[in-house]
A and B are shown apart, each in its own frame.
Chain A
Amino acid sequence: MSEVRFPVEMVSGVPVVVTPEEIDITNAAGLRAALLEAAGRGPGRLVVDMSRTVFCDTAGIHALVEAHKRAGAGGGEVRLVITGPAVLRIFAITGLDSVIPYYASLEDALTATSRSADGT
């Protein structure tokens, strides 16, 4: 089975997963596996850099949420970098914008001080 790989890069000591241009039902499973693996490595921050991503469907959203849950269970945190309007839109329409912290650039995601992720 040929699956698209989602490598984890270390940027300033923080694991960063870069997502492809499009995330949909055809590659969401691979992304989910990569994110869960990265999020399950232990407490700390995981950044999902979606700045290249112009399209993401609900299958992709589910993968992000699962990573967020996995990281949270281990005392960690998932941060997203979102720039595409279509991605922001699906993020808002599914109510995720109040759940997972997101930033306009990788630098912001890496440096911003933690804020409450669950909107409380």
Chain B
Amino acid sequence: MGAIEVTAVDPVLVEARLRGIQSITDATLSRLDDRELLTELLERTREVLQADTAAVLLLDFSSGQLIATAAAGLEEEVRQGVRIPVGRGFAGRIAAEHRPVVLDRVDHTTVLNPILWAKGIHSMMGVPMVAGGRVIGVLHVGSLTPRRFSGDDVELLQLAAHRAAAAVQSMTAQADRAVVAALQRSLVPSALPVVAGAEMAARYIPGSGAVGGDWYDVFTLPSGQVCVTVGDVAGSGLAAAVIMGRMRSALRAYALETADPAEVLGRLDRKMQHFEPDALATVLYAVIEPELDQMHVAVAGHFPPVIAYPGQQPAEVADVRIGVLIGIAPDTRRPVTTVPIPPGALLCFYTDGLVERPGEVIDEGLGRLCRAVTAQPAEAACAAVTGALVGSEPARDDIALLMFRRHARGERDAGV
């Protein structure tokens, strides 16, 4: 970047520059909501730098393109949804090289976007918008008259880009949180199926950080079998939640096609590796026989269920064989373990957030869970486990928890 010139200090210029910096970093900007802040910031940037146009292009990570998102004096760029591939053209170069670019003369060899030269923009400068160490977009200004942007101009623009990046980050996080929460609500079953001879209860507890990709699901098959899924998509936020939604519905579809739980996970894995090659997930899928006396479990890297027997303490980690996670190895067949379910027994399915604690061996968490799970009514068991393992401290990771209890002999179904 251009060095700051310390010679020939013109007090009037310094004063103007300071006012410029103040205008861009002004605290009153923070009172605006993020979208207004971005628009206002572009207006001020244009003013301070005495430029004719100012625009923000944000990087769409899935397509690798910069998308015109906000503009001042260049509104058509946003309205027409201009897209610039990273690495190409003026803005694309800034994003690819992570550094400011100044163009003294705009023409078709330096600028990809025809709107800019059609508009008659003569000179431009742009800087990367960086958040969390990576480029999230580009901020550029343009002048309709010939002009040489200075190193000071670049620094001022970088300051504005910094502010804009923070606003965009906050905007994205807010939107993501709202969408993810809505998605989670729509995907986690609001009512569990009613199964004669058994009862179920479940919890989804969002983490204190971003909402994650944990889920549980219970459904019955035409055969009368009861299927239970619990899973965890690696990562967090909207991306993980969307993948979770796709996995959940794909798994339901494959469950209708085959009764073999390993085959269901195999098909799910094939689908994921083809359509979501970067996704990684743990899934446990159990098929409980219509008689409710046993379940067949296939596991893709997920923690095993805990089973509590009536009159016996503590509960045990079910001895199930663990197969490979979803998303790693093509054409993997996972082992299927059959677990007997005696009358009155309670099965506890969960995700890692329930048992993992920083710096603690996983067996301690599993031991704590085994002591908390008892063969009692499912709803009470859920409450006991969340009370003992979640308590009042906010969980860092999200948690999915599902209890399935086979009724004891002679026990009647509770009226629902």
Do A and B associate with each other? yes
Residues of B within 8 A of A58 (CB): 232, 282, 352, 356
Q: B25 contacts the other chain (Cβ, under 8 Å)?
A: no
A94 x B301 contact (CB < 8 A): yes
Residues of A within 8 A of B362 (CB): 86, 89-90, 93
Q: Which of A24, A62, A120 contacts B280 (CB 8 A)?
A: A62
Contact string, A66-103, partner B, CB cutoff 8 A, digits 1/0?
A: 10110000000000000001100110111110110000
Query: Which chain B residue lies CB-closest to A90?
Result: B362
Q: B234 contacts the other chain (Cβ, under 8 Å)?
A: yes
Q: B179 contacts the other chain (Cβ, under 8 Å)?
A: no
Residues of A within 8 A of B301 (CB): 94-96
Contact string, B291-323, partner A, CB cutoff 8 A, digits 1/0?
A: 000000001111110000000000000000011
Total interface residues in chain A, CB < 8 Å: 28
Q: Pull 12 A–B residue pairs with CB atoms less than 8 Å apart, ordered by A.
A: A22-B358, A24-B359, A25-B396, A26-B358, A55-B361, A85-B361, A89-B363, A93-B303, A93-B362, A95-B299, A99-B328, A118-B329
B363 x A95 contact (CB < 8 A): no
Query: Which chain A residue lies CB-closest to B234?
Result: A62
Q: Which of A3, A55, A65, A120 contacts B360 (CB 8 A)?
A: A55
Bound together, the chains give a CA A90 to CA B302 distance in angstroms of 11
Contact string, B358-389, partner A, CB cutoff 8 A, digits 1/0?
A: 11111100000000000000000000000000
Q: Which residues of B contact A (CB under 8 A)?
A: 132-133, 209, 232, 234-235, 280, 282, 299-304, 322-325, 327-329, 332, 352, 356, 358-363, 396-397
Residues of B within 8 A of A86 (CB): 361-362
Q: A112 contacts the other chain (Cβ, under 8 Å)?
A: no
Residues of A within 8 A of B232 (CB): 58
A118 x B332 contact (CB < 8 A): yes
User: In the complex, what's the smallest C-beta–C-beta distance from B129 to chain A, in angstroms?
Assistant: 15
B356 x A1 contact (CB < 8 A): no
Of residues 94 through 120 on chain A, the ones whose CB sits less than 8 Å from some CB of chain B are 94-96, 98-99, 118-120
Residues of B within 8 A of A25 (CB): 209, 358, 396-397
Residues of A within 8 A of B235 (CB): 62
B133 x A3 contact (CB < 8 A): yes
Query: Which chain A residue lies CB-closest to B327?
Result: A69
When A65-B325, A95-B325 are in contact, do A1 and B133 touch as well, CB less than 8 Å?
yes
Bound together, the chains give a CA A58 to CA B212 distance in angstroms of 13
User: In the complex, what's the smallest C-beta–C-beta distance from B274 to chain A, in angstroms?
Assistant: 14
Contact string, A13-29, partner B, CB cutoff 8 A, digits 1/0?
A: 00000000010111000
Contact string, A22-49, partner B, CB cutoff 8 A, digits 1/0?
A: 1011100000000000000000000000
Residues of B within 8 A of A66 (CB): 234, 280
Residues of B within 8 A of A93 (CB): 303-304, 322, 362
User: In the complex, what's the smallest C-beta–C-beta distance from B389 to chain A, in angstroms?
Assistant: 15
B324 x A98 contact (CB < 8 A): yes
